[in-house]
Structure 1
Amino acid sequence: MNPATTALTVRDPWALVPSIGNLDAYITAVNRLPMLTAQEEVALGKRLRDHGDLEAAGRLVLSHLRLVVSVSRQYLGYGLPQGDLIQEGNVGLMKAVKRFDPDQGVRLVSYALHWIKAEIHEYILKNWRMVKVATTKAQRKLFFNLRSMKQGLKADAAEADLHRSTLTPAEVDTVARELNVKPDEVIEMETRLAGGDVALEPQTDDSEESFAPIAYLADDASEPTRLLEARHRDWLSGDGIAQALSVLDERSRRIVEERWLKVNDDSSGGMTLHELAAEYGVSAERIRQIEVAAMKKMRKALEATA
């Protein structure tokens, strides 16, 4: 939004600021706007504070648009459009004008600088990467100072170290001391700044070699269906089997246990059909029939509790 729209009645040249969409024309226009004298600034500030005069607010904003353009140039290295940086800086400028107290004896340019930078900083942190790289106060301080400090340290380094990309332990300590942060935080931010965004979804290339992280980053172990299946298997192997065995008579239960649930020390398993037949004085075929009937009975019991 063009800040000129904040004024109700603005006379030339205040109404000559074009849209930021035409960035070159916008910058040329704001650099031609006349600056306010200290007396004019105080008078306009009092009109805004005491009477809510929007025309006065508009003139205060418009006369400082060149400041926003100047500040935005300091952040072009982050790869974001200058028009967007100016847009956010203008928001900060309008916040500063709204809170400006002309009786403090401070020029608006000094007061507004903090608000302009704060809005631009917040915009950069939200849009520089898909994942926000700085959240704490120390991380924000490192984000906006580490790269320039690294360049300064490299300039002071020996010729052989000019191509080194990472900081030495001594340089980490220097940065931490100057910014009043922990060395571990310096190392962490250096790692974050050196990284880059990776698209999770597949790209337009359909070749088999074009593999997006979404294909291999999924944790199948945490998939809800698999969790339910694993929980059901655990129940079957414990309480489920015990509950199913409880519906059998003593002979059927012992046959099932000996045939399927017992493991001897030599890993040979339980008794064979012939061994059980000899113990109960029946044929091996009869033992097999009892086993089949018992298994069906157990299966029905488990299905009833599923």
Structure 2
Amino acid sequence: MGTSLQPVGVLAPGANLNAYVQAVNGFAVLSAEEEKQLAEDLYYHEDLEAARRLVMAHLRFVVHIARSYSGYGLAEADLIQEGNVGLMKAVKRFNPEKGVRLVSFAVHWIKAEIHEFILRNWRIVKVATTKAQRKLFFNLRGAKKRLAWLTNEEAHAVAKDLDVDVKHVREMEGRLSAYDAAFDAGTDEDDETAYQAPAYYLEDKRYDPARQLEEADWEESGANSLALALEDLDERARDILQQRWLNEDKATLHDLAAKYGVSAERIRQLEKNAMKKIRAIMEA
């Protein structure tokens, strides 16, 4: 089903949500016979006009479902738009021979798209990733009728009702009660509030004496190992590495090729072999 399915100016609620709702409520509700005929035209003949009419006739149903998710703090227009995507997916997959109305079949697809949108946008940090966590997330949101934490009895009742462990209920409740916080202070915050940002509470270990001593020992050990490894090379290999890697003004392969009267490829091979020998000595 391509973009030709989309009724122009309808599947995008936009800023004027009231006008959109009024428009979709103006589409006639299909009778069972009309719906079956349109579904058969789409299913057997890929009639996109039939698909368009099926979608448009059920847009009011998407609005009804989307409004039941108004408590998540997300724009109603976005929820409706996502629900419309689910409706179109349902229309595409609807089999008129199953003996059910489209509205009964589509509710799963509409809610699935809205759920996915909520989980992607409700928090910066995802609160539910597995199928079980997603089910618990939405059911627990509905089970919590007040802002206070669940009592032990309430938590056990929710766990029993949803057939999950109590600890999973408590864990999800904690995620639901958490909030996103910026790691760094905002650019518009003053000195009196900026210090509260988490970034200011990290331990700075750069000046820890033990760490500085360890780094100094490591650098000295590395330098000593490199010096010993270079001494183990022949004079030409040592000179190639010196001029290619250690000098401030580094020589090119062609510079060294002219100096030793060989090809640049030969210098590259000598350099590669010397580096391999250096690495072996330092790792021993």
| Structure-2-length-normalised TM-score | 0.69
- CA pair 219-104 structure 1, distance change in 2 beyond 3 A: farther
Q: Helix, strand or coil for the counterpart of 2:119? A: helix
2:278 aligned partner: none
Q: Helix, strand or coil for the counterpart of 2:144? A: helix
Q: CA deviation at 1:215?
A: 2.7
1:100-144 CA deviation, whole Å, 9 max, x = no partner? 000111100000000000000000000011111111222212211
2:182 aligned partner: 199
Say if 2:210 is the partner of 1:210.
no
Partners in 2 of 1:24 and 1:168 — Cα distance?
Answer: 41
Partners in 2 of 1:236 and 1:61 — Cα distance?
Answer: 69
1:152-196 CA deviation, whole Å, 9 max, x = no partner? xx7xxxxxxxxx811222221111110011111100011111111
Question: Which residue of the other structure, out of 43, 46, 58, is the alignment partner of 2:40?
Answer: 46
Q: CA deviation at 1:240?
A: 7.2
Q: Is 139-148 or 68-77 further displaced after alignment?
A: 139-148
Identity fraction in percent = 52
Say if 2:158 is the partner of 1:175.
yes
2:170 aligned partner: 187
- CA pair 137-17 structure 1, distance change in 2 beyond 3 A: closer
C-alpha contact (below 8 Å) 2:29/2:57 kept by paired residues: yes
Letter in 2 for 1:180: D
C-alpha contact (below 8 Å) 1:91/1:119 kept by paired residues: yes
Say if 2:117 is the partner of 1:134.
no
Letter in 1 for 2:184: E
C-alpha contact (below 8 Å) 1:6/1:57 kept by paired residues: no
1:6 aligned partner: 4
C-alpha contact (below 8 Å) 2:79/2:117 kept by paired residues: yes
Q: CA deviation at 1:41?
A: 1.0
Letter in 1 for 2:197: P
Alignment of structure 1 residues 141-290 onto 2, 5 Å: 141-151=135-145, 165-203=148-186, 204-211=188-195, 213=197, 215-216=199-200, 220=204, 232-235=215-218
Partners in 2 of 1:205 and 1:46 — Cα distance?
Answer: 61
C-alpha contact (below 8 Å) 2:155/2:169 kept by paired residues: yes
| Structure-1-length-normalised TM-score | 0.64
- CA pair 52-242 structure 1, distance change in 2 beyond 3 A: closer
C-alpha contact (below 8 Å) 2:11/2:81 kept by paired residues: no
C-alpha contact (below 8 Å) 2:11/2:84 kept by paired residues: no
1:121 aligned partner: 115
Partners in 1 of 2:203 and 2:47 — Cα distance?
Answer: 59
Q: Helix, strand or coil for the counterpart of 1:209? A: helix
Letter in 1 for 2:179: G
Partners in 1 of 2:37 and 2:92 — Cα distance?
Answer: 14
Task: Tell me the matched-pair count.
Answer: 223
Computing the radius of gyration over CA atoms, which structure comes out larger, 1 or 2? 1
Partners in 2 of 1:68 and 1:113 — Cα distance?
Answer: 8
Letter in 1 for 2:4: T
- CA pair 206-107 structure 1, distance change in 2 beyond 3 A: same
Gaps of 5+ in 1: 9-13, 155-163, 247-304
Partners in 2 of 1:165 and 1:16 — Cα distance?
Answer: 43
Letter in 2 for 1:70: H
1:20 aligned partner: 13
Gaps of 5+ in 2: 229-281
- Pairwise CA RMSD of aligned residues? 3.3
1:93 aligned partner: 87
Letter in 1 for 2:80: I
